[in-house]
Structure 1
Amino acid sequence: MRIKQYRTQFIKELSPFYDAYEAESFFYLILENKHKLRQIDLALNHELTFSDADLAIWGGFLNELKKEVPIQYLLGKTNFYGLDFEVNENVLIPRPETEELVEWIINENKEGKSKKIKILDIGTGSGCIAISLAKNLPNAEVYGIDVSKKAIETAKRNAINNNVDVTFMYQNILDTDVLTCNFDIIVSNPPYVRNLEKEEIKKNVLDYEPHLALFVDDNDALIFYRKIAALAKSGLKDKGQLFFEINQYLGNEMTDLLEKMDFKNIELRKDIYDNDRMISCKVSKNL
């Protein structure tokens, strides 16, 4: 079958589940990943065809997409901050909002390209934050911790594949009494979705991404932030920076939390969708 003809069929079959634009984007993602063909290649050669074996593979993709399995899990990878990352059911799929957090840290620490700094990423998942920072701040010594051993294994592979040196460790931050060394930067994108917000979550996220990395109890939504901030009070160097990705509905609560813990230079920022999404602050130990 001609690929161009199959493209029309593919998009039509997914129409009950996705809009045409998203279905088309899936088609070209699979085409490039499985056949090394781009949209321009198909436009320039209308006679390109799929074999019966190819069609069987594509049928498998269609069946999974109709179940709303994330395309990133089906392909086994995604792109984040210009780098390729392995993703699987043990790690969250990195979001564009988290790229904004990484960009903020890099811009705030451009001197890190020539100055030695030490960074800790808490709840590292796929390692996307830690690895992106290590890649763009080459003199940074970067560490990542996670409560999931399988996530740590994924992060280690991603570090190797992206040719960076990051130390990943298994650690439950809620059971941690003190950080073992002092850092210039601590960053975290911890679980922050309340159970009451589950109805807002799309099926492809709710059914397939790890709940361990997503959800917190409605009655204590800031549990991870409070714990990490407490550890950062002693675990950050003087003038050290703390960065969080946060629940869009809890920006004011996060600001109040950090103010009460006597952090300085608190800054709340919105993401590309105009939601309160990230916050930073500093410790000052010489007051």
Structure 2
Amino acid sequence: MRIKQYRTQFIKELSPFYDAYEAESFFYLILEDKHKLRQIDLALNHELTFSESDFVVWDSLLSQLKKEIPIQYLLGKTHFYGMEFEVNENVLIPRPETEELVEWVINENSKINPAKKIKILDIGTGSGCIAISLAKNIPNAQVYAIDVSKKAIETAKKNAANNKVEVNFILQNILETEALKCNFDIIVSNPPYVRNLEKEEIKKNVLDHEPHLALFVEDNDALIFYRKIAELAQKNLLENGQLYFEINQYLGCEMKDLLEKMNFENIELRKDIYDNDRMISCKVSKAL
């Protein structure tokens, strides 16, 4: 069968689960990953065909997509901030909103005197996407990253090696941490922040397949990670040290109030590309 014919069949079979645009994007992602062919290659050569062994691979992927397993897990990788990252069921799939958080940190810190080393800590690193992106783009940074999941740390270490950066990974439960082992210029975190009451808003492919440990918090204490990390920041951020968070879009005001009550300064709440409250930054008060 010609690839172009199979493409039509592929999109049609996925139509009960995804819109046509998303199904088509899956087709071309697989085509490039498995055959090194791009959309333009297919447009220029309508006679390209699949072999019998190709169909076995494609039909298996199609079957798994019908179960709404994320395409990134099926391919074992995704792209984030211009780099390729291995992803699996032990780590969240990095989102574009998190790229915005990374961009914010880089823009504010990449032009610091290169002779001055700065220490950065990423809490809840998952795939390592934040820590690795910062290590790659802030040359004078010494980056550390914490996660409670051993398997997530293993994945993050592979990603650091594949992207040729050095990050110090630490297996640690941040909620059980009384103090960090050293002081930092920057602490950044994208911790669990989805409340159980918001589960009905979560797509099935996320709810059924991405790690709940990295996603959800109890409704009655949705800011548990932010409060704990802010407490640690009070102890372990250097003077004028900066704290950055990705946050729940519905809790921007609550986050700002939390940081104000903890005497942080220069609090700035930012919206993401979808116009949702998504990021917040502050500085440790000199009085702390």
Q: TM-score if structure 2 supplies the norm length?
A: 0.98
How far is the alpha carbon of 1:251 from its aligned partner?
Answer: 0.3
State the AA in 2 paired with 1:273.
Y
* Contact 2:77 2:87 (C-alpha < 8 Å) held by counterparts: yes
* Contact 1:97 1:271 (C-alpha < 8 Å) held by counterparts: yes
Q: In the alignment, what sits opposite 2:181?
A: 180
Q: In the alignment, what sits opposite 1:17?
A: 17
* Contact 1:72 1:87 (C-alpha < 8 Å) held by counterparts: yes
Q: How does 1:213-228 map to 2 (within 5 A)?
A: 213-228=214-229
Equivalents in 2 of 1:180, 1:102: separation in Å? 24
How far is the alpha carbon of 1:116 from its aligned partner?
Answer: 1.4
SS at match of 2:111: helix
Query: Can you list the C-alpha shifts for 1:57-101, whole angstroms capped at 9, x where unaligned?
Result: 000010000000000000000000000000000000000000000
Q: In the alignment, what sits opposite 2:166?
A: 165
What root-mean-square deviation, in Å, do the aligned CA atoms of Structure 1 and Structure 2 show? 0.9
Q: TM-score if structure 1 supplies the norm length?
A: 0.99
* Contact 1:4 1:46 (C-alpha < 8 Å) held by counterparts: yes
Q: How does 1:104-183 map to 2 (within 5 A)?
A: 104-112=104-112, 114=114, 115-183=116-184
* Contact 1:123 1:144 (C-alpha < 8 Å) held by counterparts: yes
* Contact 1:112 1:138 (C-alpha < 8 Å) held by counterparts: no
Cα separation, partners in 2 of 1:113 and 1:84, compared to 1, 3 Å? farther
Q: How does 1:182-197 map to 2 (within 5 A)?
A: 182-197=183-198
SS at match of 1:111: coil
Q: How does 1:202-221 map to 2 (within 5 A)?
A: 202-221=203-222
State the AA in 2 paired with 1:159.
A
* Contact 2:110 2:137 (C-alpha < 8 Å) held by counterparts: no
State the AA in 1 paired with 2:135.
A
Equivalents in 2 of 1:177, 1:195: separation in Å? 27
Q: In the alignment, what sits opposite 1:241?
A: 242
* Contact 1:94 1:128 (C-alpha < 8 Å) held by counterparts: yes
State the AA in 2 paired with 1:74.
L
Q: In the alignment, what sits opposite 1:7?
A: 7
Equivalents in 2 of 1:284, 1:222: separation in Å? 21
* Contact 2:184 2:241 (C-alpha < 8 Å) held by counterparts: yes
* Contact 1:113 1:137 (C-alpha < 8 Å) held by counterparts: no
Equivalents in 1 of 2:3, 2:108: separation in Å? 47
4+ residue runs over 4 A deviation:
none
Equivalents in 1 of 2:91, 2:112: separation in Å? 28
State the AA in 2 paired with 1:231.
L
State the AA in 2 paired with 1:11.
I
Q: Percent identity?
A: 83
Cα separation, partners in 2 of 1:20 and 1:113, compared to 1, 3 Å? farther
* Contact 2:118 2:184 (C-alpha < 8 Å) held by counterparts: yes
Equivalents in 2 of 1:91, 1:127: separation in Å? 9
SS at match of 1:244: strand
State the AA in 2 paired with 1:204.
N
